[in-house]
Amino acid sequence: MLPVLIDIGANLAHDSFDRDRATVIGRAVEAGVAAMVVTGSTVADSERALALCRQWPERLRATAGVHPHHASGLTEAGLPALAALLADPMTVAAGECGLDYFRNFSPPADQRRAFALQLRLAAERGCPLFLHQRDAHADFLAMLREHPGPATRAVLHCFTGGPAEAEDCLALGLSLGVTGWICDERRGQALREAVPRIPDDRLMIETDAPYLLPRTLAPKPAHRRNEPMYLPLVLQETARCRGQTPEAVAACTTANACRLFQLTLDNDSNLLI
């Protein structure tokens, strides 16, 4: 029997899935991925994510937020629309929000302002956080220290840092989401060293589809689109790095996702409404 998995971060509203989204979801379920959290990165994108959840309520839930790339577009005036999305019972977390100084598609000052707005909103709504950080470790931690309540119910998705960064995040109470980055022998060494240090109750796994196709996938496909059916590859490499069985890692990561996002699976591994 396949282990029951939850993909905590899949961009299923992405247009690369428009032609075959139902098939993609079906393949994921066949691979043991019982549930997927659809990432929202703008207000409009979050609305699309929620629309997908209404089509597949037994498989999908959504986050609602504004990614740092789009931070310049979030103002106080836009918060009521975001608050309404967070109030939807299909929304399980606020985000994807945080800081990304790698590309600075929005200026850092705008990123910090938008992140602060969303941290405040999450605290007011009592929502878990779905976080993003790239090349902004110090500022990211400083802002979370200013909002200690939300930080204790949060996952830093697509964590790619090394042991020191992991320890900093764990000290704040964050959980860490591991993607196919761990399957990349070129870029993933620091993450491979960090993953054994993550406590069982703070670890989650995700694909970040359609991005980060695992390099351990064989044979190599002609395309580069990732999808949730490949989550078992992330599971296997994570288990190998931790010296655990895939079944043990599946059990803890699924339990952690259910706890953080308040998900309940029935005996047939369907999400309960």
Look at residue 150 in the predicted model and tell me its pLDDT. 77
243 vs 171: CA distance, rounded Å:
23
User: Taking Cα atoms as reference points, which of 166, 167, 176, 112 lies closest to residue 144?
Assistant: 112
What is residue 37's three-state secondary structure?
strand
Q: Domain containing 243 — which CATH number?
A: 3.20.20.140
> Is residue 90 one of the residues assigned to a domain?
yes
Residue range(s) defining the domain that contains residue 57: 5-261
> Is residue 151 one of the residues assigned to a domain?
yes
> Is residue 26 one of the residues assigned to a domain?
yes
> Is residue 237 one of the residues assigned to a domain?
yes
> Is residue 255 one of the residues assigned to a domain?
yes
> Is residue 119 one of the residues assigned to a domain?
yes
Q: Is 0.85 surpassed by the pTM of this model? A: yes
> Is residue 270 one of the residues assigned to a domain?
no
User: Taking Cα atoms as reference points, which of 109, 12, 35 lies closest to residue 258?
Assistant: 35
Computed on alpha carbons and rounded to an integer, the radius of gyration of the chain in Å comes to 17
42 vs 49: CA distance, rounded Å:
10
User: Taking Cα atoms as reference points, which of 52, 127, 50, 51 lies closest to residue 95?
Assistant: 127
CA distances to 55, 131, 134, 158, 176 from 111, in Å = 32, 13, 12, 18, 21
> Is residue 273 one of the residues assigned to a domain?
no
Mean pLDDT per 10-residue section of the chain, whose length is 273 residues: 94 97 98 98 97 98 98 92 96 98 95 96 95 98 89 94 98 97 95 98 98 95 94 98 98 98 95 88
Look at residue 194 in the predicted model and tell me its pLDDT. 98
Q: How many domains does the chain have?
A: 1
